[in-house]
Amino acid sequence: MSDMSDSMSQDTAASAAMSITMRARQYPRDLERVVAIYNAWSLEPTTAEALMEREQREVVGERLQRLVALNRMGEVIGYVETTRSPWSAAGHYEMELCVDRLWRQHGAGATLWSATLTWLRAEGAAQIEVQLRDNDVASQRFAEARGFLRGRHLFESTLDLASFDERLFADAIARTQAVGYRFFSLADVGDTEEARRRDYEINRRAALDIPGREQTFAPFEEWRRFVCEASWYQPDGQIIAARGEEWVGMAAVGYFAATNSMYNMVTGVDRAHRGQGLAQALKLLAIRYALRSGAVYIRTHNDSENAPILAINRKLGYQPQPGLYLYTRDLAVKE
């Protein structure tokens, strides 16, 4: 529901909406416009190649609807994508809805949402979730007017790698090594099928332990496709902490060539091994990797309830950016 403000009087909205039409999203026909609309909303731009990669990844059992809104000239002025992964909680769907800023308050968002709501009801959906920029008051009002309630807050933060001074943390990694921990990447162990399965298990444990997160996770086969086969994936960026033969912590970072940047996907440590400085050591190793790769910055999102990792990020010098609110709508409630 990003950038979807359409606050108008009822009469004006009805008149404007008469000139808005919809159809299924088509590729490559709509690619350029969808990317442009998305990039006007997102802090981090995407590319046509990245969008095509996502479009081409079919998930068995996924429920999906993609629509675009057109003005009277037939130009794409907004889009909506609504999905439900087969491993999601029963009845839980997610939506991304964006409207071109020049075409806000012309009924495109309302038209796309109305079509989406009809589809969701036919699907028997129980709940829909969207992400809204925390500094986009207009879109928040639009969502709230349609029964969405504000929930979790995800903070975005960015580390400028040119200004990072590792000397401030000179002994952080050595201290954890001194008490029996070791660090390596999937590249160090050959990026084998066995290594990926072990990496998957620790990714799953870390992700399911994030405060406020939906307690579901993709099966290994799907995780391998959207992680290990993604363009951003590099085995050097899958960093593991181990004690003996047990893998007890991990940090995953991806490289995005379009912005020459890294993204902290997940950082986690098993509960039994917390309090040893492992999370900070793992993030430092991820930063080292980003520096070796020549990236300009590294960014991440963290839940507002995840105080320990937020504190580590502040200590390392990550700077806050506009974040995201998660809004949900109970579909049992009628508009």
- Summary mean pLDDT of the chain: 90
pLDDT for 304: 87
Domains 10-153+326-330 and 165-316 share a fold: yes
pLDDT band at 15 (very low <50, low <70, confident <90, very high): very low
Contact 164, 287 (CB under 8 A): yes
Say what the pTM is.
0.85
Each residue's pLDDT tens digit, 179-227? 999 999 999 999 999 999 999 999 999 988 877 666 689 999 999 998 9
d(C-alpha 69, C-alpha 34), whole Å: 11
Q: Please work out, in degrees rounded to the nearest 5, the angle formed at the alpha carbon of residue 214 by the alpha carbons of 207 and 333.
A: 165
Q: DSSP H helical segments within the chain, as ranges? A: 10-17, 31-41, 48-56, 108-123, 137-145, 172-178, 193-208, 220-223, 278-292, 307-316
CATH fold, domain 10-153+326-330, is: Aminopeptidase (3.40.630)
Q: Domain residues of the chain, as ranges?
A: 10-153+326-330, 165-316
pLDDT band at 234 (very low <50, low <70, confident <90, very high): very high
Q: Is the pLDDT of residue 264 over 80?
A: yes
Cβ contacts of 291 within 8 Å, gap of 6 or more: 161, 164
Each residue's pLDDT tens digit, 84-109? 999 999 999 999 999 999 999 899 99
Q: Which amino acid is at 287?
A: I
d(C-alpha 221, C-alpha 209), whole Å: 21
CATH fold, domain 165-316, is: Aminopeptidase (3.40.630)
Contact 233, 262 (CB under 8 A): no
Of 275, 274, 250, 276, whose CA–CA distance to 264 is shortest? 250
Cα dihedral angle (15, 17, 21, 26), rounded to 10 degrees?
Answer: 150
Over residues 11-15, mean pLDDT: 43
pLDDT for 47: 86
Cβ contacts of 222 within 8 Å, gap of 6 or more: 59, 87
- Between 10 and 71, where is the model more confident? 71
Over residues 74-92, mean pLDDT: 94
Each residue's pLDDT tens digit, 291-328? 999 999 999 999 888 889 999 999 999 999 999 999 99
